[in-house]
Structure 1
Amino acid sequence: MKISQKVLVLFLLVLLIPNVVSAYTVQPGDTMYRIAKKHGLSYKEILQLNPSITNPSRIYVGQHIVTSRGNDYYVQPGDTLYKIAKKFGLSVKEIIAMNPRISDPNNIVVGMHIIVGHDLVDELVDYAVSLQGKTNYKLGAATSLAPWVADCSSWTQHIYGKFGIKLPRTSRLQSNMGTPVTFRNMKKGDLMFFGENGIVSHVGIYMGDGYYISNLNTERDVVIFSIYESWSYRTFLWASRVV
């Protein structure tokens, strides 16, 4: 085979495999739970990233564990959106939300580019930021008025719903969704909950790099804060990962 043909074959093979971002090599004393915690993942998330591991209690030293996934996947022979979604621990609805250009979910072709990773989070946060100056805060606003008129939780409900993630109406109910996340382990797209005496009264969206965005009140509407700002830091309760 000529060199040019070999290069072409290698290129096509690269297109047909998922783009894995990061992997961890199992060390003595490791468990899946410890590895997940070390990388800011839940136990469920790390299992979803490693569907080939059928017995999580029997990992071995030197084994490679996927700890983050890439954004891109290229359709392989025999693929369906359901199979692709299952492979990456997603629902078909989430896959479609990340790939609005797919007009017919039942008609995907080999080689088609499918977004399967955190592009969704970037789009979600970008959309939230785009609502600055457009959303008017109103406590108890009807869900149907969002995002133009909303309070903190109907605003987040609308934003996540736009990307196929269903949230309940109030911040307290939203705080029970997803996987609980500590302050140190927050990732872009996580919901942040605030309140006093352990009672949730406000919700925002973590943007990454130490900032979050929130539909705050009638005076300020949608604003971006540092997570270390005094009120935010003092009243932070926990975060939840729903993406």
Structure 2
Amino acid sequence: MKKILRMTIVFMVVFGICITGTISTNAKVESVPNAGVFINGKVVSGITPIIENGVYYLPFIELAKILNYNSIQFEEKTKTYEITDGSTVIRITMGGSRAKKGNEYINIEPPRWINETAYVSLHTSGAIFNSYITFKKENGSIQIQTPATKYIVHTGDTLYNIARIHHISVGELKKANSLASNIIQDGQVLNIPNPDGSKGEMEPVKEREPVKNNSSDSIAQQVKKILDDAKNYIGAKYKYGATLADAPKVFDCSSYTQYVFGNFGIQLPRVSRDQASKGVAVSASNLKAGDLMFFTMNDAYTDGRVAHVGIYMGDGNMIHASTSKGVMITANVLQNPYWSKNYLFSKRVIQ
């Protein structure tokens, strides 16, 4: 019995040390004056960092909202946040050394849980938000470059993993940084080349997950109802990470498709990357009304992600929730200079 008790105490001590390390209750934490947040050189907000053992940390939720990740869910039991801007889902757990972005994992410095608040280091912030984030001592500001053209290497990273999460090749990454070998070091800053649309996230085109369809209508009837309904919301405003509670006055691209398709029995996932995993791939020359069209957005993200989704209407036109104009119709979408450059693939979910 005494042996069991001793083992239990040892386990509790070790486990307690692990938890303490996770939430940093015993770490030396210094307050930092409120810092201006600059995005691409323009001040947009303010934030209050902390310093733990010489490392700058930012309050996670404040930063997420500044960067337009407005849909935020929290699992109290596991201290896990799930956030999205509508393009991809990010999951991050306090104390965890990896975050999940879409279906990919990223090495990070463990987030801290201090005074019931989540904090992430500058490195972690940049890695999960596809940004390059630094602290400028001259004026005490947080400088954010987005989309990122630089990446800070973290322990556990390899050139392969960094290239994979940015949807570029190792060769392209080595060339952009004049690397003669595959050796990289913690803290090293790498240049990230911007992939063109043809080199964006193409994995979902291979995925063929079925879509729940609760309608008894024929395919033709269902497509007509969806397109007729989609046009009812032309002019609705755009908001990154909009929820279904914001509909039908406010959407992001994927909440719009989820809402419209859901009105007629087709259950799509919440974000564009997950919607891209559904249905079967169709070529641009074989598009039919009701197909979903997927795009990267290289001016917003340099990780090549599936970033945008719209509904093909036929005759070359697409209806979608655009970041600049809200719900609208883009005529001749694959001849449009912007969308044709960022086009990835299309999927058919109404079958």
TM-score by length of 1: 0.52
Q: Residue 171 of structure 1 aligns to which amino acid in structure 2?
A: S
Change (3 A) 1:140 1:117: closer
Partner of 2:222: 120
Partner of 1:162: 263
Change (3 A) 1:222 1:91: closer
Q: Does 1:223 align with 2:324?
A: no
Q: Does 1:129 align with 2:231?
A: yes
Count the aligned residue pairs: 134
Partner of 1:71: none
Separation in 2 of the partners of 1:164 and 1:128?
14
Asked if the contact 2:253–2:321 (Cα under 8 Å) also holds between the matched residues in 1, the reply is: yes
Partner of 1:203: 309
Gaps of 5+ in 1: 1-43, 45-89, 99-115
Asked if the contact 2:321–2:328 (Cα under 8 Å) also holds between the matched residues in 1, the reply is: yes
Structure 1 vs Structure 2 CA RMSD:
2.0
Asked if the contact 1:198–1:237 (Cα under 8 Å) also holds between the matched residues in 2, the reply is: no
Asked if the contact 1:214–1:223 (Cα under 8 Å) also holds between the matched residues in 2, the reply is: yes
Query: Percentage identity across aligned positions?
Result: 40
Offset of residue 120 of structure 1: 1.1
- Among 285, 292, 301, the residue aligned to 1:191: 292
Q: Residue 188 of structure 1 aligns to which amino acid in structure 2?
A: A
Separation in 2 of the partners of 1:142 and 1:91?
20
Partner of 1:146: 247
Change (3 A) 1:91 1:132: closer
Offset of residue 144 of structure 1: 2.0
Q: Residue 236 of structure 1 aligns to which amino acid in structure 2?
A: Y
Separation in 1 of the partners of 2:214 and 2:256?
21
Which of these two proteins has the greater Rg computed from alpha carbons?
A: 2
Moved over 4 A (4+): none
Asked if the contact 2:288–2:314 (Cα under 8 Å) also holds between the matched residues in 1, the reply is: yes
Asked if the contact 2:254–2:272 (Cα under 8 Å) also holds between the matched residues in 1, the reply is: yes
Asked if the contact 2:212–2:267 (Cα under 8 Å) also holds between the matched residues in 1, the reply is: no
Asked if the contact 2:229–2:260 (Cα under 8 Å) also holds between the matched residues in 1, the reply is: yes
TM-score by length of 2: 0.36
Q: Which has the higher helix share?
A: 1
